[in-house]
Amino acid sequence: MKKKILVTRQYPPAGIRLLEKENHVLTIWDKSRSMTQDELIRASLDHDAILCTLTDRIDARFLDQCRHLEMISQFAVGFDNIDVKHATQLGIPVGHTPGVLTRATADLAFGLMIAVARKMIFNHKTILRGEWGSFNPTGHLGVELKGKRLGVFGLGRIGIETALLCKKAYDMDVIYCNRTGNPDAEALLDAKPVDFDTLLAKSDIVSVHCVLSPQTEGVFDLKAFKKMKPTAIFINTARGGIHRETDLIQALEQGLIWGAGLDVTDPEPMSADNPLLDMETVCVLPHVGSATVEARSAMSVLAATNLIEFYKNGTIPHIVNPEVIKK
């Protein structure tokens, strides 16, 4: 069944080729910036489905004007940019791309831990400034990760993969805080479930892997940072809205925690004059958790497959709101 699909960015070609092979007619937004919401609405009006991503605002305003859409296929595992409840009420199914970016994102969380612990970005910047003096026996000192305790906030696919890396590389003890228990993961990681306050108080590294939701928005605020160890490292590769940035800055300035590694900020992009960027024990990356050739290509295939299967046989392999299809 030939359909008109709006493709909101230039996604990796593997998935695009699959859609073309099925003879779908694609309109690809080829600018380097995302569409404004008005551009997105105008363009969607003339299409049957959209292939979109986390920078596209698919809220009630969008959905009310684009209620004709037959499907929304999200190129990302997270979907907090989409008002899924509203899409469900309108009967629009939403697909996403879980699993294929797990390893890439866990690698980045793990990398951020080392980068922060050894002040890698800060030390690199000293060279750029021409400040590489002679070997300094007491300078540039970081901390070691071996045998430390990892606290995972949100023990889903990416949290588990990150914890596995930490266990294998550094024999870390793992505790976690999750909405529900995860006995399989507990067995795999020898991990213990704890409440939020215990996670904060007992972890040497807290790594955030939950979804952004009304329950998790801003949970890492000054009150939470005050409960962490002054030697702790805070890592967030999930969504910037889960921590309060001004509180994090204050916590680092006051020495309430030792360091932070962020792949996500709020807002994104982070402004170039953000004080976090000048801190010795902070490493900030521009939301690149899934940015490997392998993961992005697989995400493109999955997002396309969700559309193809939907139009071929009415099923979506990775659906966010399955109740719509069952109706």
* Closest C-alpha among 305, 310, 317, 299 to residue 69: 310
Name the active-site residue from 239, 243, 296, 318: 239
Q: Judge whether 209 counts as a catalytic residue.
A: no
- For ligand GLV, the closer CB: 162 or 281: 162
Question: Which lies closer to ligand GLV via its Cβ, residue 58 or residue 279?
Answer: 58
Q: Which stretch binds ligand GLV (CB under 6 A): 41-49, 74-82, 112-120, 314-322?
A: 74-82
Q: Which residues pair with 52 in a beta bridge?
A: 74
Minimum Å gap between C-beta 74 and ligand GLV is 8
- Which residues, 6+ apart, have CB-to-CB distance to 73 below 8 Å? 49, 50, 51, 52, 94, 95, 303, 304, 306, 307
Respond yes or no: is residue 239 known to be catalytic: yes
Beta bridge partners of 175: 151, 192
Task: Work out how close the CB of 175 gets to ligand GLV at its nearest, in angstroms, rounded to a whole number.
Answer: 25
Contacts of 88 (CB under 8 A, 6+ apart): 321, 323, 324
Burial of 267 (0-12, 13-18, 19+ CB in 10 A): exposed
**From candidates 78, 93, 151, 241, binder to ligand GLV by CB under 6 A:** 78
Q: Which stretch binds ligand GLV (CB under 6 A): 22-30, 71-79, 85-93, 220-228?
A: 71-79
Q: CB under 6 A: which stretch of 70-78, 153-161, 175-183, 216-224 binds ligand GLV?
A: 70-78
Indicate which single residue of 289, 298, 302, 311 sits in contact with ligand GLV (rule: CB under 6 A): 289
Evaluated on CA atoms 292, 32, 241, 122, the torsion sign reads: positive
**Residue 164 or 211 with smaller CB distance to ligand GLV:** 211
235 in contact with ligand GLV (CB under 6 A): no
Residue 196 C-alpha from the chain's centroid: 20
Quick one: which of 77, 94, 121, 228 contacts ligand GLV (CB under 6 A)?
Answer: 77
Catalytic site includes residue 68:
no
> Catalytic residue among 24, 244, 287, 318, which?
287
Q: Which of residues 97-116 bind ligand GLV (CB under 6 A)?
A: 101
Which residue matches tokens 């000054």? Answer: 222
In the bound state, the residue with its beta carbon closest to ligand GLV is 78
290, 300, 306, 321: residue in contact with ligand GLV (rule CB under 6 A):
290
Contact flag: residue 76 with ligand GLV (CB under 6 A): yes
Chain residues that interact with ligand GLV, rule: CB under 6 A: 54, 76-78, 101, 289-290
Residues designated catalytic: 239, 268, 287
